[in-house]
Amino acid sequence: MLPLNAALFLSAILFAIGTAGVVVRRNAIILFMCIELMLNAANLAFVALSPYAGIDGQVIVFFVIAVAAAEAAVGLAIIIAVFRHAESVDIRNFSLLRW
């Protein structure tokens, strides 16, 4: 069986990649993908921990998948609404509101 540390290490790396992506990238769709990566890194951690910490971990993953799906629906709709105004999904273009 895969050792726990390896799985947790992988999930930490995925989480870090997701976080770094949100900070560095400027395309709204890519930002959204990076956020999904962060949620899935947490899912991986829950599943990897569940043999040690209890079956709850696997149940939680299903809740998170459902929440991520709802977020995707709303998020993509918002990105489309913004695209209609700006003809772009580059977040550097959005400075109507600042400070």
Partner 1 sequence: MTLDFASQADYLLALLPEIVLSLWAMLVLMVDVFQKGNRVEASRPVVAWLSLAGLVVTAAANGWLLTIEEAAVTGMVAVDSFRVFVNFIVLIAAALAILISIGYLDRRGINRGEFYALLLFATVGMMLLGAARDLILLFLALELMSVALYVLVGFDRRDPRSSEGALKYFLLGSFSSGFLLYGIALVFGSARSTNLSAIVPLLPSLQESPMFLIGAGLLLVGLAFKVAVMPFHVWTPDAYDGAPTPVTALMATGVKAAAFAAFIRVFAVGFAGIYNEWSVVLSWLALLTMFGANLIALTQGSVKRMLAYSSIAHAGYLLVAVLAANAYGAAAFLFYLLVYTLMTAGAFGIVIANSRGANELNKLDDYAGFGWREPLLGAVFSIFLLSLAGFPLTGGFIGKLYILRSSLEAGNVELAVSLVLASVISYFYYLRVVVVMYMRPAPAEEANRTVLLTGPGQLAMSVSAVAVLALFFVPGWVLDVAQRSVASLFTVPGTFFGLGP
Shortest Å distance, C-beta 6 to partner 1: 14
Shortest Å distance, C-beta 5 to partner 1: 11
Nearer to partner 1, 6 or 63 (CB): 63
Distance CA 17, CA 34 (A): 8
Nearer to partner 1, 10 or 64 (CB): 64
Calculate the alpha carbon distances from 77 to 1, 66, 73, 97 in Å. Answer: 42, 17, 6, 20
Nearer to partner 1, 1 or 52 (CB): 52
